[in-house]
Amino acid sequence: MKTAERVSSLVGRWFAVIVLAAGAIALLTPETFAPGTSAIQWLLALIMLGMGMTLQVGDFVIVAKRPWALLLGVTAQYLVMPLAGYGLAVALDLPPALAAGMVLVGAAPGGTASNVMVYLSRGDTALSVAMTTVSTLLAPLLTPAIVLLLGDEFLPVDAGALFTSILQIVLAPVLIGLLLRTFAGRLVEHVLPVLPMISVGGITAVVMIVVGASAGTLLSVGLVLVVAVVLHNGIGLGLGYAIAKACRLDVPGRRAVSIEVGMQNSGLAAALAAAHFNPVAALPAAIFSVWHNVSGSVLASYWSRGGEPTEVAAEGMIAGEGGR
């Protein structure tokens, strides 16, 4: 298992490069991967099962201890990113399918990789885990409602079908994973070291399928879409931090909220877009999958090396977590 841990660590460290290379391969040979669209939901369900297996009942204690910080973070998650996605789609005059995809990425819950980024950035990891978990559990209700509200002008939205899909490929696997961790903890402990490899493999496969199925569109609007995704992610990171600061969260809390708001569950967005719209609508999610890991890694590296030195010095004793 030590070998598995080392491989998982290596794969996690080079995740963005792996996904970028996979996307390039799919772009060169789209016909190889395009037929796999129907597998996207199953791949995401496997990833979410792994997420559930990493959770423990104790992870929910923060809900009772710090409800204000959690409420603030989750509210920012479901307000900032959907509105930013919609605004960018309109401002850049994206085609309807891509516009709907931008809204869907924005309406997705927090991405699972965000917890690692928050830990590396010396942020409030407990708050990050709680935000990811709660936003994921709320996704069956909030994601379809937001997509219906903001995305229906671009493509017809069946909120009921979205709700059912999220229950099947997100909520059920996460709850099953949590139950396995609770009642078969010893068995799950043996599996945990390989979960990062499974997650990276799953997301990589999703990206390859999405890119392969919509290669023509990507080649024709690629630059505009990349700009849209980069701006979307940047707005989430920036406004997430600004909102947390304005609400007087400590520095580790601000970092957690910033990364949680800016990093989306792009795998879920891609799966839903492919199932309920078309593969083209999944392109924003596929590109987001690569970019938010790059930007998150850069930001985590900056903060871990002592970013915001004045604020850390002034608030470190209060925060009590600056050296996490």
| 159 falls within a domain | yes
Which of the listed ranges 77-91, 159-173, 288-302 does the model predict with the highest average pLDDT? Answer: 77-91
Each residue's pLDDT tens digit, 214-242: 788 878 777 899 999 999 999 999 999 99
- Amino acid 5: pLDDT: 67
The predicted structure's pLDDT at residue 106: 96
Residue 321 pLDDT greater than 70, yes or no: no
* pLDDT 10s digits, 254-309: 999 999 999 998 888 988 998 899 888 999 998 998 888 788 878 887 887 765 54
Q: Is residue 317 part of a domain?
A: no
Q: What are the DSSP calls for 210-271, one per residue? A: HHHHTHHHHHHHHHHHHHHHHHHHHHHHHHHHHHHHHTT--HHHHHHHHHHHH-B-HHHHHH
- Which pLDDT tens digit goes with each residue over 11-60? 666 777 887 888 889 889 999 998 888 888 888 888 888 878 877 777 66
- Inside any domain, residue 179: yes
Q: For position 34, what pLDDT does the model report?
A: 87
Domain that holds residue 185: 8-303
Is 318 part of any domain?
no
Residue 191 has pLDDT above 50, yes or no: yes
Taking the C-alpha atoms of residue 298 and residue 51, their distance in angstroms, rounded to an integer, is 24
124 found inside a domain: yes
| Interatomic CA distance for residues 85 and 285, integer angstroms | 11
Q: Is residue 3 part of a domain?
A: no
**How many structural domains are present in the chain?**
1
Q: Tell me the CATH number at 167.
A: 1.20.1530.20
Which of 212, 183, 142 lies closest to 57 in space, CA to CA?
A: 183
In a domain, 2, yes or no: no
Token pair of 283, please? 């392109």
Other CB atoms within a 10 A radius of the CB of residue 252 amount to 27
The pLDDT confidence band at residue 74, using thresholds 50, 70 and 90, is very high
Mean pLDDT of the region 87-99: 95
In a domain, 47, yes or no: yes
Higher local confidence (pLDDT), 63 or 140: 140
Q: Which residue has the higher pLDDT, 104 or 124?
A: 104
Distance CA 259, CA 113 (A): 10
Predicted confidence (pLDDT) at residue 183 exceeds the cutoff of 80: yes
What does pTM read for this prediction?
0.82
